[in-house]
Amino acid sequence: MKSHLNKVKQYIKKNPVTMSAVALVFLATGGVILYSQSNQSALQRKQLDSDAQLASQIENSKKSNGERLAKIAEEKKAAEEEAAKKAAEEKAAAEAAAAAAAEKKAAAIEAAQQATSDSITLSSGAPIAYDGKTKIPVNWSAGFTSEKGFKLVWNTTGSPTYPGSDYQYFDKSSSTGSGYVKAFTPGTYYIRVCQYLGGSCGVYSNQIVVTIP
């Protein structure tokens, strides 16, 4: 072993230029290797940084998209709630209008029924000759009964009333009746029936006009 080392030493002493060149080659080779390794490390670091930056960009993009989707969902929900609220208000308004219309209709029906129940309807038949005179037959129907009866009233001027016009008393509590108007002279007769209250009349019927030639 020592002999080999001695031979190497002797060779170096005898060939210093060659050994210097060899040393330079080794140094250059090592430098290249170190430079290559350094560049490779720099490239790796650069790649890692680039990958990290890309990953960060992807993560930020995902986050941004998530926030945008969340905002869209929130806006959609708010719009749906607003539409539902508006629909509920419109429904409530329609129901209120329908209820008001129903109440109005019910009130009109009640008023009509009340008017009918408080009214007297009078009709007449063809005049009848009797003992040289003329009688005008009439019939009435009331929507109520009269405790004190009814009065058949007539005149030749219009809108007969009691007291003040000719009359015939009917002592009936029934809501219907019939009678005759005594037309002693030719002319136009205005006839009504009224609810007798005792000394005066309350509700009057429609007026019938009959002309006797």
pLDDT single digits (tens) 19-52: 666 666 666 666 656 666 777 788 888 888 888 8
**Residues contacting 101, CB < 8 A, separation 6+:** none
- CA 126, CA 59: separation in Å to the nearest integer? 105
Q: Which two tokens stand for residue 144?
A: 């109520």
Assess whether 63 and 130 both reside in one domain: no
Give the type of residue at 75: E
Assess whether 157 and 89 both reside in one domain: no
Nearest to 202 by CA among 138, 141, 110, 118: 118
Indicate the burial class of 144 (C-beta count within 10 angstroms; 0-12, 13-18, 19 or more): middle
The CATH number assigned to the domain holding 184 equals 2.60.40.10
Assess whether 124 and 111 both reside in one domain: no
Q: Which of 117, 133, 150 is the last residue of a domain?
A: 117
Q: Which of 117, 136, 158 is the last residue of a domain?
A: 117
Parent domain of 36: 1-117
User: Could you give the angle at which helices 2-14 and 16-117 cross, rounded to 10 degrees?
Assistant: 100
Number of structural domains, the chain? 2
pLDDT digits (tens, 9 = 90+) for 57-77: 888 888 888 888 999 998 999
Q: Which of 52, 83, 117 is the last residue of a domain?
A: 117
Assess whether 107 and 135 both reside in one domain: no
